[in-house]
Chains A and B, each alone.
Chain A
């Protein structure tokens, strides 16, 4: 059976989780606690020597990049297609997934680590955290974890992340004004990717992402929230991160 090593249904881990749920593909779940750095422990490094999550093992094949992993799942397994037939819509889906992954998400993530995740993680023994960071295989990831765990973000970096987040919310609202879905006319991996990034925006950016200012984003998020695969996936969450989804409950 397909093996998936993942953390919460959130960001990179949530992308293959939701994709597999939409396709109806069963998998054996291996939950790794990102904050306890399970992904840098020897057992997991045997699966993915880079120590990043998620990772997927399909027979003797190991996949470690979450967005290309989604396309693999859609191509390899039966189930409803999650990539448009039209090459132009496919291109748009891929363009937006890169924008989410490399521009929008890093900014949202920096704010999230600064405000929510980092303070919680810093309740641990600093020496223990330093030792854990030194075991991270990739230098770029060591730098990122030091910044995150010891709150080494500068004010300029945080201000830039806030600017980019607000800017990207506006861009996404504009895009969804012209297209019902990320790729164009059908639900696709682009929506799954975007949802994993944006589902918590009404919680983390309530002044900028709400029914008055971004009605298209809110309707899009609620449409994805209502899908059975989304409910099934977020039910696998073990922390309060997953509870942020409740902001998308229909208004009573």
Chain B
């Protein structure tokens, strides 16, 4: 049986849960707390790819001896490998669209959602911890990019100016998705797919983190899409995997912004 290691169902942790629920898959769920660094523990499934994954923190799916990481490619894996409703329908161009959206949103929005969510929820929560213990735990993290991402949450380097800039950068991908959804029911055209799961997981947080960008007036198509997604049984079942009752407040450091600007 496949096993999914996940935290609160939000952003990257939400994606495979929705996909597995859509597939009605039989899977073993392992809930873990990445803010307590359980993903670096000796019994946590790891491989080179999960250590180096560019989302930095996220779910892992174990299928036999393979440890699958990186949430969009995990969605593709679930679509490819697990029986059930087709989550990657259509022709080669629809599949291209799903991958192109996944790449675009992952690179443009992934870093923004992680940074804004950590600033609003994770940073205040970490301040209540013993700072010496916290810093010592972070200092042990490898690779250095993951360590630095955690350190950035607690060192105050994410300022009000950074927040303003991140919100400004979110406008371009949000506008592009809202425009697309004005003429298409789903992200790859006529049928529901992994691209909708991916988009929902990345966009839904912005209604809370950047309400001036995502709201019924500025982005009516996106807001209607988010509601349509929340009405799906699989999405509700995935969100019900929360143990805190507040999955929308759970964030971990995510992908880094492009180093080219």
Give chain A's interface residues, CB within 8 Å of chain B. Answer: 58, 61, 63-65, 67-69, 71-72, 75-76, 87-88, 90-92, 94-96, 98-99, 102-103, 106-107, 109-110, 138-140, 143-144, 146-147, 157, 160-161, 171, 174-175
Q: Which residue of B lies closest to A91 (CB)?
A: B77
Asked if B107 is at the interface of the complex by the 8 Å CB criterion, the answer is yes
Contacts A64-B100, A69-B96, A75-B92 given; indicate if A91 touches B259 (C-beta within 8 A).
Answer: no
**A-B Cβ contacts below 8 A, count:** 96
Provide the bound-state CA to CA distance between A58 and B66, in Å: 36
Asked if residues B100 and A95 are in contact (CB atoms below 8 Å), the reply is: no
Instruction: Tell me how far the C-beta of A137 lies from the nearest C-beta in chain B, rounded to whole angstroms.
Output: 11
Kindly provide the distance from the CB of A14 to the nearest chain B CB, expressed in whole angstroms.
Answer: 18
Contact A106 B52 (CB under 8 A): no
Given A95-B69, A95-B73, A106-B258, the answer on whether A72 and B48 have CB atoms closer than 8 Å is no
A110 to B258, CA, bound (A): 12
Sorted nearest first, the 4 A-B pairs with minimum C-beta distance are: A143-B261, A68-B99, A87-B81, A75-B92
- B26 within 8 Å of A by Cβ? no
Cβ of A174: which chain B residues have Cβ within 8 Å of it? 48
Q: Tell which of B66, B100, B107 has the most Cβ of chain A within 10 Å.
A: B100
A96 to B76, CA, bound (A): 14
- In the complex, which residue of chain B has the Cβ closest to the Cβ of A152? B261
On whether the beta carbons of A65 and B258 are closer than 8 Å, the reply is no
A140/B99 contact (C-beta < 8 A), A94-B73, A95-B73 known? no
Set A64, A91, A139: member contacting B76, Cβ < 8 A: A91
How many residues of B are counted as interface, with CB atoms below 8 angstroms from the partner's CB atoms? Answer: 32
Interface contacts beyond A68-B100, A90-B77, A146-B261: sample of 9 additional A-B pairs, CB < 8 Å, sorted by A: A64-B100, A67-B99, A88-B81, A91-B76, A94-B76, A138-B172, A140-B108, A171-B48, A174-B48
With CB as the reference atom, state the residue of chain B lying closest to A88.
B66
The A-contacting residues of B in range 39-94, CB under 8 angstroms, are: 48-49, 52-54, 63-64, 66, 68-70, 73-74, 76-77, 80-81, 92-93
Chain B minimum-CB-distance residue to A94 = B73
Q: Of A68, A103, A144, which one neighbours B96 at CB under 8 angstroms?
A: A68
B63 contacts A106, C-beta separation under 8 Å? no
* Residue contact B73 to A72, C-beta cutoff 8 Å: no
Residues of A within 8 A of B107 (CB): 102
- Contact A61-B93, Cβ < 8 Å, known A71-B99, A91-B76, A98-B70: yes
* CA–CA, A94 and B79, complex, Å: 14
Interface string of B244-261 (1 = CB under 8 A from A): 000000000000001111
With a cutoff of 8 Å between Cβ atoms, the chain A residues found around residue B96 in the complex are 63, 65, 68-69, 71-72
